[in-house]
């Protein structure tokens, strides 16, 4: 089955030269990555609840990174973001990162437009539909 969501993600990758590289750091289950687009790059933490991250599978990594940015924009505040990401809100490092993420999110939107991972959250959580197809083509 063909999913337009995957085609849209691939088109975004091609248009802006999107790439994701692991920076080798893992902190509280969050992976530090370098997200690059259109000649710019930003350090971002992404949650990889299902151990899908593999830098050889770029389209999947781009999805995970965009999903992390969507989680940020959907959170109402720092405490909500920590709760969604299973992070300790009393850790000052996460508060510092959250504040920086606001600026990074804005810069990324100015570079690639509105953040959209294209694959809905339910498909991701259930590992079905377009997300399952994305995993299959990334293998």
* 71-112 residue pLDDT tens: 999 999 999 999 999 999 999 999 999 999 999 999 999 999
CA distance linking residue 131 with residue 123, whole number of Å: 6
Task: Write down the pTM of the prediction.
Answer: 0.94
How would DSSP label each residue in 29-91?
TEEEEEEEETTEEEEEEEE-TT----TT-HHHHHHHHHHHHHHHHH-SSHHHHHHHHT--TT-
């Amino acid at each position: 089955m063909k999913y337009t969501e995957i085609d849209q993600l691939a088109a975004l990758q091609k248009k802006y030269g999107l790439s994701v590289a692991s920076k080798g750091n893992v902190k509280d289950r969050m992976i530090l990555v370098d997200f690059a687009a259109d000649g710019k790059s930003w350090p971002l933490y992404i949650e990889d609840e299902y151990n899908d991250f593999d830098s050889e599978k770029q389209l999947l990594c781009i999805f995970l990174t965009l999903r992390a940015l969507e989680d940020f924009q959907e959170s109402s505040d720092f405490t909500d973001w920590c709760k969604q990401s299973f992070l300790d809100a009393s850790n000052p490092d996460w508060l510092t990162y959250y504040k920086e993420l606001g600026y990074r999110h804005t810069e990324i939107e100015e570079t690639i437009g509105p953040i959209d991972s294209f694959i809905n959250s339910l498909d991701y959580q259930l590992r079905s539909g377009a997300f399952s197809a994305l995993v299959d083509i990334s293998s």
